[in-house]
Amino acid sequence: MTRAAVQALLSHWRSHPLQLMTLLTGIALATCLWSAVQAINAEARASYDRASAQLAIGRFDKLRASGNLIPLSRYAALRRAGWQVAAVLEGSLRLDGRSVRLMGVDMIAYPALPAVTEIEQGAAAPDPADILTAPGRLLMSPELAPLFQTAPGFPPIITSTALPPDLVLTDIGVAEQLLNRSGQISRLIILPEQPRGQPPLSDIAPELQRITPSAQLDTAQLTDSFHLNLSAFGLLSFAVGLFIVHGTVGLAFAQRRGTIRTLRALGLPMRHLIWIGLGELLLLAAIGGMFGLGLGYFLAGALLPDVAATLRGLYGAPIDGQMSLRPQWVAAGLAMATGGTLAASGHALWRLSRMPILAGPGLQAWGGDTTSTRITGALGLALLIAGTIAYFAFGGLIAGFALLAGLLTGAALLLPLLLSGALTLFLRRARSPVAQWVLADMRAQLPGLSLALMALLLALAANIGVGTMVSSFRLTFTGWLDQRLTSELYVTAADDTQGERITEWLTPRVSAVLPIRSAELTHETGPLFLYGIVDHESYRQNWPLIAEGPDVWDHVLNRGAVLINEQLARRADLWPGDRVAITAEHTLPIAGVYSDYGNPTGQAIVAMPVLDQIAPNTETRRFGIRTEPERASDLAQVLRNQFELPPSAVVQQAAMKAQSMAIFEKTFVITSALNVLTLGVAGFAILTSLLTLWTQRLPQVAPVWALGLTRTQLARLELLRSVLLAALTACLALPLGLVLAWVLLVVINVQAFGWRLPMHLFPGDWASLFLLTLLAAVLAAALPAWRLLRLPPAALLRVFANER
Amino acid sequence: MNVRAFILFVLLPIASWAQGYAGLGGSAEGFDRPVPGYSFEFPRDHGPHPTYRIEWWYLTANLRDADGSDYGIQWTLFRSALKPSEADGWQSPQIWMGHAAVTTPDAHYFAERLSRGGVGQAGVTAHPFEAWIDEWHMRGGDLDTLNLTANGVDFGYDLQLQAQGSLVFHGDAGYSVKSADGQASYYYSQPFYTVEGILHLPDQDVEVTGQGWLDREWSSQPLAEDQSGWDWFSLSFDSGDKLMAFRLRGDRGDYTAATWIEPDGTVTPLPDGSVKLKPLETTSVAQRNVPTRWHLSSPELGVDIDVIAVTPKAWMGTRFEYWEGPITISGSHTGRGYLEMTGY
């Protein structure tokens, strides 16, 4: 009996292959986007872990001289006092427009570097003498190797997957030559095992600062908000995909009522039926889930390089462009698919269990009535309020997302009530009988369509919100780059002496040489970079201040005040008029706050003499050069030749801007990709809902046809109905999208990145999105309309003949 | 005792890389080679010889506290050249490695340090004499009076050494042959130190006195290709006589050599085969079976003795592992000494 029942129930799918495809696609889409985001996040986190393990960045304390490099003699003095430290010299190399971090470690004093150990244990272990003596070897990830293989003048390469993708590791002896910084040390790692009887550090090297790992910016922590953003997007897509599942499963059970009634009449217990239904769903979830995982893996692989570029650009986070398949990920994806399918089908199963044994095939559209629309609406309102309260009560990134979630789900639940209200309003105005019928019919259809329309609302709102945020950001960022990068050339000298020579040589040839000097300090909120500036109109006219006290430049340049960046201002809640403790001994008044996009750390600007006071001996190696723009290119070449500078040491403003914009664009590639996908899923959800309703529409259409409307007219009305509902939804999505954008800009961005952006409006984008929505609605209704058009009149006539 | 070169080659500079490096018998291209008839010049030759591939300053001492408990200490500075030259700063191809250990009757503590030349972290100056790596040093006006210090995480020592005799040259006036194929090194010793000072142990400081033995050796290609390890003994008999003996274990048979040192410094070099070394008992330490009781005999010298480790677990768990610790002597002669065993 059970076997026969299973066959009977499953035969439904054989006669409805499209429905089966739809259901599987729904499950697959939901799983795909969610899993893709999870895969990207997992990959990124694995990269961070690897990087911090490889370089012991997160684990060990380090010693640093604020503002300058550590001389070799200091290292020897520490060692001879018993301090077990390993010297590290860091710098960046530019190759093909890409900036790569070069890390030179004293591989003799610190031979236990995990990356080195891994290479040692590899099949082709190199001769240590090759690594330690000229020309040395460069250790890098396979991803980076092609870049160096084609470039002349570098030592031979050893690749290892143990290395982070943006880092070249080498012996310090090789690094000092490649970076042209002989005998200099960026920082000292304090090794884990220290001998007994050490003198205190302050006796040997009082000028060095000991930095504990907690005071160092942790990549994982920094990027958490970014990953949370991605997860939220994945979850949204997951929810939208489940709308499809809900629609199709409901339809499938509705269509099988006849079969179910027969089976029960033959004696099959309800309990068995439920188990069969459950088994069927689990099987479908497994198939759809696998399919979705495959898609998700592919999607993640396609998006990962851009995400990697983003994370590198925004946070300097090391991340691989390579995907690997993790078993936990497969398990989690399948669990999500199964859980989601069951959640989306629970309603249908529950209805099945409650069905009276002899109930006939239902004709009334399934879904709620007016009362339940009101209840849903009230629930929506409650969620809206709850989200808002949560945000104001708790604050922070999670509360920001709670606000978003409350807004989106609340608005979605309110949608049927609002649409029904709008239709009622139209109905009162309608004069012609056909118009009245169309509107009344639409209102009657609402419960069946409402889930699909909610999906559409969410997708549209997300599109408007995220689109507004990205475009606002782009506009602000471009303007900010213009303000910030005012010098025509940026030059980096090998050391202070060469810096002096370059300044001397340049001064008579250009309109200004602006030294760029900075010292790395530690503030309670994390690392703090202190910059010194000279008085020049470049700063006075262009510096992008977002908050300022009176006579801001006069205070900074002549009265010992400080400018801080927005990140520091928001993290420490310091604004003009407050005082900031730059070091334990130096507390300065804040004259202004400037925007500083794309930089995770705190920053402050003081006049040059103040910098020298706070961090004496800060190196003077970098300069901004003001000259006529058309001379910049030639001057760059002359400078390189004159001082034998590597190409990367002289950068033109245009190149710098182009690179910054490229990083920016990559940042939002994934956002727009997910945006488009969500909209596609929502369109698909409308199609499935319309198809579901279609089977139940014949009895309602037949009388109108009998009254004299042609099938062509009916088909056109069918399209119109779909377009009208989509248009109404789009109109409601606009304010929701704008509120979403506001939350993203003012709440989420501030929490995630530390900066607040002004909101700009882009009506052109809305118009095109509106048209796209109408097009999607037409496409979704096209199939039902076409079916209506081709319906034999006999089928319509039969409605009157058949018993209801 | 040029066999210690093995350590240097195999483990330097980056431990396990070198384990695949069977280059002991490799060519010494570009490096100078020891030749017979070399005339030593001091204090110059107490200092480093960068044109030779390997070199060490190797000090061991047998010590005793007021209660009569036996202790041993080791202080070693190795130099290994990647190229036969010296350069400033990080460009230096000279690699230095320090090993220090304290052995008590029931424990063994050790530490290891690595550095490169040129940066001031490690090195040796001949006059005034100082050998150092990090805060460890062996220093004095000359080699006769030395201050010796080293520290690990939980142990350390600070000792004064005073030479009571003259330098001793092994082999053919300091030209010491190491295999039947003729591999050789320059090798001299100062085996006549008296020692006093303090051992810092995890739970207490101990005042000790005793006797020390310094080996100086340098070469460029000391081992034959088939030789895989060695057993090296420095024995100080209560009679005042001393004996240095080693056995190189090779696929083609063992190679032994020894030096008999009388209290006045008169030396008698003994050729291959004149001293018999036979393991009697092994101890399982660090998953290896290491002989910790030996029988030494030489009819020529009238020596027929058993030596036994003070602490069988004197295992040096450094990058290249080996056994090194104090021993006591019984039989035809009594006394104390040091034993080093590698390649187990």
For chain A, percent helix, then strand, then coil, each to nearest 5? 65, 15, 25
| Yes or no, beta carbons of B89 and A196 under 8 Å apart | no
Q: Among A402-406, B114-118, B306-310, name the one with the lowest average pLDDT.
A: A402-406
Tell me the nearest-neighbour CA distance from A547 into chain B, angstroms: 48
> Is the per-residue pLDDT at A231 higher than 80?
no
CA distances from B200 to A632, B102, B154, B162, B195 (A): 66, 9, 8, 21, 15
Please report which confidence band the pLDDT of residue B25 belongs to, taking 50, 70 and 90 as the band edges.
very low
CATH class, range B2-18+44-341: mainly beta
Residue where the block lists tokens 């009362």: A371
| Yes or no, beta carbons of A79 and B135 under 8 Å apart | yes
Higher pLDDT, B121 or A16: B121
pLDDT of residue A367: 43
pLDDT of residue A312: 64
Mean pLDDT calculated for residue range A17-43: 82
Mean pLDDT calculated for residue range A10-24: 84
| Yes or no, beta carbons of A127 and B15 under 8 Å apart | no
Higher pLDDT, B4 or B15: B4
pLDDT of residue A311: 66
Backbone angles phi, psi at A358, to 5 degrees: -110, 20
Distance, in Å, from the CA atom of B287 to the CA atom of A277, rounded to the nearest integer, reads 61
| Yes or no, beta carbons of B90 and A176 under 8 Å apart | yes
Structure tokens at A405: 């979630």
Range with top average pLDDT, A240-244, A352-356, A607-611, B136-140: B136-140
Residue where the block lists tokens 């609605």: A777
Backbone angles phi, psi at A211, to 5 degrees: -110, 120
Higher pLDDT, A617 or A282: A282
User: Which residue on chain B is closest to A87 by alpha carbon?
Assistant: B90
pLDDT of residue B24: 34
pLDDT (tens digit per residue) in B46-89: 999 999 988 999 999 999 999 999 999 999 999 988 888 888 88
Tell me the nearest-neighbour CA distance from A319 into chain B, angstroms: 28
Handedness of CA A169, A172, A177, A182 (dihedral sign): positive
Tell me the nearest-neighbour CA distance from A111 into chain B, angstroms: 6
pLDDT (tens digit per residue) in A620-645: 888 888 888 888 888 888 888 888 87
User: Which residue on chain B is closest to A82 by alpha carbon?
Assistant: B135
Residue B134 contacts residue B148 (beta carbons within 8 Å): no
Distance, in Å, from the CA atom of A524 to the CA atom of A534, rounded to the nearest integer, reads 27
pLDDT of residue B334: 96
pLDDT (tens digit per residue) in A141-198: 887 888 888 878 888 888 877 777 778 888 899 999 888 888 889 889 888 889 998 8
Mean pLDDT calculated for residue range A565-581: 87
Residue B175 contacts residue B220 (beta carbons within 8 Å): no
Contacts of B21 in chain A (CB under 8 A): 127-128
A511: DSSP letter = S
Residue B169 contacts residue B265 (beta carbons within 8 Å): no
Residue A670 contacts residue A470 (beta carbons within 8 Å): no
Range with top average pLDDT, A290-299, A361-370, A777-786, B224-233: A290-299
Rg (CA), chain A: 33
- What secondary structure, in 3-state letters, does chain B show? CHHHHHHHHHHCCCHHHHHCCCHHHCCCCCCCCCCCCCCCCCCHHHCCCCCCCEEEEEEEEEEEECCCCEEEEEEEEEEEECCCCCCCHHHCCEEEEEEEEEEECCEEEEEEEEEECCCCCEEEECCCCEEEECCEEEECCCCCEEEEEEECCCCEEEEEEEECCCCEECCECCEEECCCCCCEEEEEEEEEEEEEEEEECCCCEEEEEEEEEEEEEEECCCCCCCEEEEEEEEEEECCCCEEEEEEEEECCCCEEEEEEECCCCCEEEECCCCCEEEEEEEEEECCEEEEEEEEEEECCCCEEEEEEECCCCCEECCCCCEEEEEEEEEECCCEEEEEEECCC
- What secondary structure, in 3-state letters, does A249-266 show? HHHHHHHCHHHHHHHHHC
> Is the per-residue pLDDT at B179 higher than 60?
yes
Structure tokens at B341: 């065993």
Distance, in Å, from the CA atom of B86 to the CA atom of B92, rounded to the nearest integer, reads 6
pLDDT of residue B19: 30
Q: Between vectors from CA A603 to CA A601 and to CA A607, what angle results, nearest 5°? A: 165
pLDDT of residue A317: 60
CA distances from A556 to A589, A607, B308 (A): 9, 6, 78
Structure tokens at B181: 């194929």
Residue where the block lists tokens 């040091």: B338
> Is the per-residue pLDDT at B10 higher than 50?
no
User: Which residue on chain B is closest to A185 by alpha carbon?
Assistant: B90
Distance, in Å, from the CA atom of A709 to the CA atom of A706, rounded to the nearest integer, reads 7
Three-state SS for A713?
A: helix
- Residue A556 CB partners (closer than 8 Å, separation 6+): A533, A562, A563, A591, A592, A605, A606, A607
A212: DSSP letter = -
DSSP E strand boundaries for A481-535: 489-492, 512-523, 526-533
A129 alpha-carbon distance from chain centroid: 45
Handedness of CA B180, B186, B191, B196 (dihedral sign): negative
Binding-site residues on chain B for chain A (CB distance < 8 A): 12-18, 20-21, 82-83, 88-91, 93, 95, 111, 114-116, 119-121, 132, 134-135, 151-156, 200, 319
> Is the per-residue pLDDT at A597 higher than 80?
no
Three-state SS for A537?
A: helix
pLDDT of residue A247: 72
Helix (H) or strand (E) holding A55: helix A17-55
Structure tokens at B2: 């040029």
Mean pLDDT calculated for residue range B90-94: 89
Going from N- to C-terminal start, the domains of chain A cover 1-58+224-362, 59-215, 370-485+660-804, 489-627
Handedness of CA A99, A301, A324, A225 (dihedral sign): positive
Residue where the block lists tokens 């942790």: A218
Which residue in B110, B112, B119, B149 has the most chain A C-beta atoms within 10 A of its own C-beta, making it the best mutation to test that interface? B119
Handedness of CA A356, A358, A364, A365 (dihedral sign): positive
Percentage of chain B beyond pLDDT 90 is 67
pLDDT of residue A664: 66
Q: Across all residues in chain A, what is the average pLDDT?
A: 81
The beta-carbon neighbor of A196 closest among B115, B121, B200 is: B200
| Yes or no, beta carbons of A128 and B18 under 8 Å apart | yes
> Is the per-residue pLDDT at B235 higher than 70?
yes
Binding-site residues on chain A for chain B (CB distance < 8 A): 72-73, 75-76, 79-82, 84, 106-109, 111, 116-117, 120-121, 125-129, 131-134, 171-173, 176, 182-183, 193-197
Structure tokens at A59: 């684990």
CA distances from A655 to A89, A644, A677, B208 (A): 27, 20, 33, 71
Contacts of A72 in chain B (CB under 8 A): 89, 119-120
Structure tokens at B250: 């090779």
User: Which residue on chain B is closest to A79 by alpha carbon?
Assistant: B134
Number of Cβ pairs closer than 8 Å across A and B? 105
A631: DSSP letter = G
| Yes or no, beta carbons of A111 and B14 under 8 Å apart | yes
Residue A464 contacts residue A740 (beta carbons within 8 Å): yes
pLDDT of residue A632: 85
Q: What dihedral angle (degrees, nearest 10) is formed by the CA atoms of A165, A166, A169, A174? A: 140
Q: Across all residues in chain B, what is the average pLDDT?
A: 87
The beta-carbon neighbor of A126 closest among B17, B82, B154 is: B17
Instruction: Provide the β-strand partners of residue B122.
Output: B133
Which letter, b or e, does each residue of A295-308 get, where b requires 16 or more Cβ atoms within 10 Å of its Cβ? bbbebbbebbbbbb
pLDDT of residue A263: 85
Tell me the nearest-neighbour CA distance from B122 into chain A, angstroms: 8
Distance, in Å, from the CA atom of B229 to the CA atom of A102, rounded to the nearest integer, reads 41
Nearest alpha carbon to residue A667 among A195, A212, A198, A307 = A307
Higher pLDDT, A301 or B324: B324
User: Which residue on chain A is closest to B92 by alpha carbon?
Assistant: A133
Backbone angles phi, psi at A533, to 5 degrees: -130, 155
DSSP E strand boundaries for A30-79: 62-65, 70-71
The beta-carbon neighbor of A111 closest among B21, B111, B114 is: B114
Structure tokens at A182: 């002989």
- Residue A185 CB partners (closer than 8 Å, separation 6+): A69, A70, A71, A72, A74, A75, A87, A88, A89, A172
pLDDT of residue B11: 36
pLDDT (tens digit per residue) in A494-507: 778 888 889 999 88
Three-state SS for A623?
A: strand
pLDDT of residue B279: 94
Please report which confidence band the pLDDT of residue B151 belongs to, taking 50, 70 and 90 as the band edges.
very high
| Yes or no, beta carbons of B93 and A132 under 8 Å apart | yes
Going from N- to C-terminal start, the domains of chain B cover 2-18+44-341
Contacts of B14 in chain A (CB under 8 A): 107-108, 111, 116, 120, 128, 131
Please report which confidence band the pLDDT of residue B232 belongs to, taking 50, 70 and 90 as the band edges.
very high
DSSP E strand boundaries for A350-499: 489-492
Residue A398 contacts residue A429 (beta carbons within 8 Å): no
User: What separation, in Å, do the N-terminal and C-terminal C-alpha atoms of chain A show?
Assistant: 30
pLDDT (tens digit per residue) in A745-761: 888 777 766 777 788 88
User: Which residue on chain A is closest to B91 by alpha carbon?
Assistant: A173
Let me know if B101 is exposed, middle or buried by CB neighbors in 10 A (0-12, 13-18, 19+).
buried
Backbone angles phi, psi at B166, to 5 degrees: -95, 175
